[in-house]
Structure 1
Amino acid sequence: MIYGYIRVSTEKQTVQNQQFELTRFAKNKNISIDHFVEETISGMASLQSRKLGILVKNLKKGDILIISELSRLGRSLLQIMGLLNICMEKGVIIYSIKENYELGDNINSKVLAFAFSLSAEIERQLISQRTKEALARKKAEGIILGRPKGSKSRLECNPCYHAKDKILAWDCKGESHTKIARRLGVHRDTLRRWFIISGNDHLLKGKNYRNSKID
């Protein structure tokens, strides 16, 4: 069996790019992916809580697992190495497209996988350390971190903020919010968001408006 594994970290990300990439790779190899396994979950999540865990458990000798890159398997050195070791012991072949790796049960594959994972782990730690050092340096220099005091709130940044009295007066007269938005030169969704963040959401008309959420 040939499997394609796809993982994204958030709902805002799409699996379509990875699926296209895996399908194109398989076509170039003159093979066909029998089954795709897709999931939206952090790479730091335990193997037991992921669909990948079930997939790896069911893999058999001779199966092929195709991924877009090794980081899809996990976000830590131990996690990636553990998965690769399980697959190699089972006699499963792993194709990692981005790195152009074909990993199997041989010493070269194990050394290559270890070197890549170690490099990626070290790089993540270095980035984290550099970020912490930069923040500490700014703090030592007296630079205030975070939003400066006195900066505009989200409500004040809304284009409708300075027309509050006019908006409430027009609404009181029974004017539609579409018309009010047109008067102000803003989109009606901008006006709806202002009603919500300004505490006037009770003036919104209709069930959909009342259930609106701020982006």
Structure 2
Amino acid sequence: EHISGAKKIEERHILGKCLEYCKRESVNILLLSELSRLGRSTLQVLRSLDILHESKVSVYIQNLGLYTLQPNGEVNPIASIMVTVLAEMANIERSNIQYRLNSGRANYIAKGGKLGRKTGSTKTDDK
């Protein structure tokens, strides 16, 4: 998916299709390489998990070796705590990245740098 993980589920079409597929096809386990693949907004991650858990789909987070549902189908309380904390950390990481990028741009401009196309560029907006 080539869209920010901070966007809402409704704006992330591939994620939406994945969630629908899991519900429709009675998938047992959804494999994620890491939690931030589900989103970088804590609320969106928790919403996605809630949608999956309602359909009894467990999420396996590979880099943590963690299942979000227990074998009996109930929410894993340890996973719930860890997911909430890690989702918030991903959200904070995203904010820090934005801050550093904006700070770097401001520093570049303060030293006389210019953003955008070079003066005299003949490329059109389409190109």
1:66 alignment partner in structure 2: 31
Question: Which one of 114, 133, 152 corresponds to residue 103 of structure 2?
Answer: 133
- Structure with bigger gyration radius: 1
1:118 positional shift = 0.7
SS for the counterpart of 1:117 is: helix
Give the distance between the partners of 1:79 and 1:109, measured in 2 at CA.
16
Structure 1: gaps (5+ residues): 1-7, 10-40, 155-213
- Number of equivalences: 115
| Structure having greater relative contact order (Cα 8 Å, sep ≥ 6) | 2
Amino acid at match of 2:47: G
2:10 alignment partner in structure 1: 46
Give the distance between the partners of 1:42 and 1:146, measured in 2 at CA.
22
1:32 alignment partner in structure 2: none
Give the distance between the partners of 1:52 and 1:74, measured in 2 at CA.
13
CA contact (8 A) 1:47 1:53 kept: no
Give the distance between the partners of 1:150 and 1:64, measured in 2 at CA.
55
CA contact (8 A) 1:94 1:103 kept: yes
TM-score by length of 2: 0.68
Find runs of 4+ consecutive structure 1 residues off by over 4 angstroms: none
C-alpha spacing 1:47/1:94, structure 2 compared with 1 (3 Å): farther
Residue 86 (str. 1) matches residue 46 (str. 2):
no
1:25 alignment partner in structure 2: none
SS for the counterpart of 1:121 is: helix
In the TM superposition, 1:85-104 aligns within 5 A as 85-104=50-69
1:121 alignment partner in structure 2: 91
Question: Alignment RMSD, CA only?
Answer: 3.1
CA contact (8 A) 2:33 2:63 kept: yes
Give the distance between the partners of 2:120 and 2:52, measured in 1 at CA.
56
C-alpha spacing 1:110/1:83, structure 2 compared with 1 (3 Å): same
Identity of aligned residues (%): 33
CA contact (8 A) 2:22 2:57 kept: no
Amino acid at match of 1:51: K
Give the distance between the partners of 1:67 and 1:113, measured in 2 at CA.
12
C-alpha spacing 1:124/1:57, structure 2 compared with 1 (3 Å): same
